[in-house]
Amino acid sequence: MNAMNTLSADLLRARIAQHLTYTMGKDKAHASTYDWRMAVSYTVRDLIVDSWFEATRKTYEEQGKRVYYLSMEFLIGRILEDAVINLGLHEQIEEVLAEDGMSLMDVVENEPDAALGNGGLGRLAACFLESMSTLGCPAFGYGIRYEHGLFRQRFQGGRQVETPEDWLNQPHPWEFERPEACYTVPFKGHVDTRDGKATWHPAETVLARAYDTPVVGWQGKWSNTLRLWGAHPTELFDLERFNSGDHTAAAAPEALARTLSRVLYPEDTTDSGKELRLKQEYFLTSAALQDILRRFLSEYDDLSLLPQKVAIQMNDTHPALAGPELIRLLVDVHGLEWDRAKTIAQGCLNYTNHTLLPEALEKWSTWLMGRVLPRHMQIIERIDAEHHAATDCPPDLRIVHHDQVHMGTLAFVMASHVNGVSALHSDLMKQTVFADLDRAYPGRILNQTNGVTPRRWLKLSNPALSQVITETIGTGWEDDLDRLKELTEHDSPDLRAALRRAKRANKVAFGNWVQANMGLTLDPDAMFDVQIKRVHEYKRQLLNVFETIARWNAIRKNPGADWTPRVKIFGGKAAPGYFTAKEIIRLINDVAKVVNNDPLTRHLLQVVYPANYNVSMAQRLIPAADLSEQISTAGKEASGTGNMKFTMNGALTIGTLDGANVEIREHVGAENFFLFGMTADEVLERYRKPDHARSAIMASQELQDVLQMLAEGRFNPEEPTRYHGLLDHTWNHDPFLVASDFSAFLACQTKVDAAYADTDRWDGMVLRNIAGSGYFSSDRTIRGYMEQVWDAKSLLNR
């Protein structure tokens, strides 16, 4: 039992009332949901602060090694609900609020999502923070306090329209501004070298100011800090200019500085050549490293101890300037010799790779790097020269070649450990993109399969299932998720029925939400077939919508047959500049419009695409899913983490042997997973066939019918040629082998239908999926990093 559970409703009532009156300045008669939410948030935050201080005190006392997780993205979602669940205060707060006619759900849903990330990479960082706190690993997350997170998505005539996100428009109750934790970040200018000593004379400077959010672990035993940097001008205002009447120019320095933390880049493949992005990356990295060194030097005076006391994780290459920046600080500011500085930097740094897609591997032109960060360009060149001398690598393995700085190579060379995010992905790293570097630096690459926090993704988002689990195996599974295995020992008709009831209740709840927000009525007994993730060609939403059309055709041909009713649910955003992805979104919406209005089929097939998919929508949708679509082209999805959340929540997967699907299938049993499609090796083989698309299309009448309908504008009679570009792309290029995997997908979906129709069989499969999902807790992942990457120890219960 955690201490918080014993907090009485009386105490909470008093504290909430106190905050309502004295922090919000409202009396109950006039308090809005927003006021209540703020009062509850401040109350809960107060309860975390003590454990937060205690964790800091303990880390100093024990001189523990600290982990620093550097990430351009933290896709946190709502904070209050997570804190309430982790502190076990759910029931008491519900009780207090009910007395004033409020519900905890209304209060929680008043909070905007903190959407400081694009997708999996950012959400992983958020899960990791929570697990590091749960495990008592002393850690800081470092990121940017974007004023505008990921854009909001609307559909206009089926097309994605982006509008700015505005989470900081209202006060943010979870952060503590730290005006004293402030660092100057330099840019541009020139470097003087005298007597072998370099001096950088920057032409621009910006202040990085810290904003801290406590991250509380399960049962409130430990809290770490998410420190986000806001950009501020070094000089507030040009008073002389203002007085001379040039008001706009007077405020220019401020506007320029603030741009750095204004908005999250919404691209999900790197858009190199953007100066602002490079500056953002350096802004985060430099502020974080200055802060790390300041904290270290407040405790120790020998910089050689740095690798023993500090582990820095680079979340992808976005903070890969950490290598050159740490060397710069050690050499130029702290006066260390180059060799010593470089060894120390390598001893602290580690790099996680999240993609093998060539277009997503960051590169910067040497011209831009030299102009924005002239000192770093020098340091990078020296690192590169030494890397070349030590490994005798060919030119294309160098950090700098073809006038570009290859950030993956830089990160690799400067890291102690480099990891992939699933077993398959880590193997492919060794076989493909990093094969030569792996030979040059053997043993550096290792695997840490991703995980997700079961607190948010099971306990919080799926109370119905959580209750069944607790009633069956008792409490304690929340931070020991392997215990879900015990469910299989309790397999019985009663347990299967209980799981089914929980799922149905979640489907009804989601159906009500769809009804209220989209005006569509869903049948909770139909199979909810869900694909939610960023829209990208390699994730193959196109394959799914082609299958949807083929299914519609099949039903129309034979409406009286024994069909398994389905609701096809899509969710996800496309990068604003990604034309093909946006076309796919439009197509799904066009198909939905036609299919949902067909009186012949609509009791058997519906298509739903709610706009603005985000963390909160995922929390609603995943518990309601029967089928999880994980259908990327094999070898392209590094891991996936949504796949894990679905499994934990009792959805069955239809998927390829890609990313962590491979391990999910091993853990739940091959017989409980709907596998289809080419393997990564077969994919490579297939690419060698020049007419792979055409020949696959010619082999499938169903696919030809689908493409013919698109050619005729069946879903868009107002503009029949709308999808001709997409069709040409499919017939002649099909870069992610949609056509080649289509028939296998269709056949596999037929097996899914049959399995769903056999209720007892399906329920048994569901049970085995939940029971096998324990491995995919991010606690397991973080333990792996602590032991194999960071050499860090838990400070809990010591």
Interacting residues toward ligand F58 by CB under 6 A: 118-121, 124, 267-270, 354-355, 360, 421, 450, 637-641, 659
Query: Distance (Å, rounded) from C-alpha 475 to C-alpha 644?
Result: 21
Smallest separation (angstroms) from ligand F58 to the CB of 46 = 33
Compare residues 267 and 753 and give the one whose CB is closer to ligand F58.
267
Distances (CA, A) of 199 to 69, 147, 332, 425: 29, 34, 7, 42
CB-based contact 695:689 (threshold 8 Å): yes
Per the annotation, the verdict on 645 as an active-site residue is yes
Say how many CA atoms lie within 13 Å of 682 toward its Cβ: 12
Q: How far is the CB of 112 from ligand F58 (least distance, A)?
A: 20
What tokens were used for 10? 């009386």
**Burial classification of residue 232, based on how many CB atoms lie within 10 Å of its CB (0-12 exposed, 13-18 middle, 19 or more buried):** middle
Is residue 28 annotated as part of the catalytic site, yes or no?
no
641 given a catalytic annotation: yes
Q: Which of 503, 539, 636, 667 is catalytic?
A: 539
With contact defined as beta carbons under 8 Å apart, do 631 and 544 qualify? yes
Q: How far is the CB of 130 from ligand F58 (least distance, A)?
A: 15
* Residue nearer to ligand F58 on the CB measure, 89 or 356: 356
Instruction: Name the nearest CA neighbour of 525 among 643, 629, 604.
Output: 604
- Cβ-based nearer residue to ligand F58, 224 or 639: 639
Annotated catalytic residue within 148, 209, 354, 667: 354
Distance CA 684, CA 399 (A): 27
> Judged by CB, which is closer to ligand F58: 75, or 460?
75
CB 119 to ligand F58: min, Å? 4
354 assigned to active site: yes
Q: How far is the CB of 405 from ligand F58 (least distance, A)?
A: 16
With respect to ligand F58, which residue has the nearer C-beta, 529 or 637? 637
Structure tokens of 793?
């120890």
Q: Shortest Cβ distance from residue 578 to ligand F58 (Å)?
A: 12
Q: Which of 425, 534, 586, 665 is catalytic?
A: 534
State the nearest-atom distance from the C-beta of 292 to ligand F58, in Å. 23
Cα(11)–Cα(9) distance, integer angstroms = 5
Catalytic residue among 645, 665, 686, 722: 645
Nearer to ligand F58 by Cβ, of 425 and 444: the residue is: 425
Beta-sheet strand order (sheet of 652-655): 605-608, 566-571, 527-532, 627-630, 652-655, 674-675
Q: Which residue of this chain has its Cβ atom nearest to ligand F58 in the complex?
A: 120
**Could you write out the three-class secondary structure of 3-51?**
HHHHCCHHHHHHHHHHHHHHHCCCCHHHCCHHHHHHHHHHHHHHHHHHH
Choice among 533, 536, 573, 582 that is catalytic? 533
Closer CB to ligand F58, 108 or 421, in the complex: 421
Q: Which two tokens stand for residue 344?
A: 């120390």
Kindly name the residue from 409, 641, 653, 656 that is annotated as catalytic.
Answer: 641
DSSP 263: B
User: Which residue, 756 or 776, is less far from ligand F58 as judged by CB?
Assistant: 776
First to last CA, the chain: 18
How many angstroms from the chain centroid is the CA of residue 712? 39
Q: How far is the CB of 278 from ligand F58 (least distance, A)?
A: 13
Q: How many CB atoms lie within 10 A of CB 111?
A: 23
| C-alpha 598: how far from chain center | 37
Catalytic residues: 354, 533-534, 539, 641, 645
